[in-house]
Amino acid sequence: MSTLADLIERYIKQQIRHSEDQTVALSRAQLAELFSCVPSQINYVLTTRFTLERGYLIESRRGGGGYIRIAQISKAERDRLAEELFMEIGAEISEREAEQFLASFHDLDVITGKQVKLIRAILQRETAMTAQNRDALRASLLRGIIIMIMYK
């Protein structure tokens, strides 16, 4: 079941996909009205789901004629961000951090939704079988899988 944040995210991404230049300008107030929510819910979606790590640039102008401009960055820039993101995987990562990395790699189009599910299953299965150093094993597996996908 989709949450309100998921619906707002899906709507914004659809608007970006249908734009000619992968950029869309939206009004916070109009989005809040459209989804029957408070503007802070829109801010939450923007700050958590449309980040640079996920391949988006946001420009915001507040006030009477204020707007939010969201742009999806180019393939070359996404590749650069993916490499930087890969370098951020430390020697140990928690399950929550692994999920965040997977979401970011997915948003940068490094991995597909199907690959996310497969990687998640591998990480859960393999780390469940070990009693020690789960975070280190998780980080090592994630790095190995992502590097194979990135440089196939």
Give CA–CA dist 97/80, Å, rounded: 20
Answer whether 0.75 is exceeded by the pTM.
Answer: no
Question: What CATH code is carried by the domain that includes residue 42?
Answer: 3.30.56.130
Q: Is residue 66 predicted with pLDDT exceeding 70?
A: no
109-137 per-position pLDDT tens digit: 899 999 999 999 999 999 888 888 999 99
Cα angle 53, 54, 58 (rounded to 5 degrees) comes to 85
Cα angle 33, 100, 34 (rounded to 5 degrees) comes to 5
- Tell me, what's the pLDDT at 65? 57
Looking at 72, 90, 118, which one is the last position of a domain? 72
Residues 94 and 146 grouped into a single domain: yes
Give the pair of three-digit tokens for residue 12: 């914004």
Residues 52 and 102 grouped into a single domain: no
Looking at 33, 54, 72, which one is the last position of a domain? 72
Q: How many CB atoms lie within 10 A of CB 131?
A: 6
Give CA–CA dist 133/47, Å, rounded: 32
47-62 per-position pLDDT tens digit: 888 987 788 888 887 7
Containing structural domain, residue 50 = 4-72
Place of tokens 């102008």: 61
Radius of gyration of the chain (CA): 18
Residues 80 and 65 grouped into a single domain: no
- Looking at the 3D structure of the chain, how many domains does it have? 2
Cα angle 35, 44, 82 (rounded to 5 degrees) comes to 115
Q: Is residue 44 predicted with pLDDT exceeding 70?
A: yes
Which of 65-69, 75-79, 124-128 has the least mean pLDDT? 65-69
Looking at 30, 47, 72, which one is the last position of a domain? 72
Residues 64 and 118 grouped into a single domain: no
88-100 per-position pLDDT tens digit: 999 999 999 999 9
Which of 6-10, 23-27, 29-33, 49-53 has the least mean pLDDT? 49-53
- Tell me, what's the pLDDT at 4? 93
Residues 88 and 46 grouped into a single domain: no
Residues 68 and 11 grouped into a single domain: yes
CA 99: distance to chain centroid?
10
**What is the mean pLDDT of the segment spanning 78-82?**
86
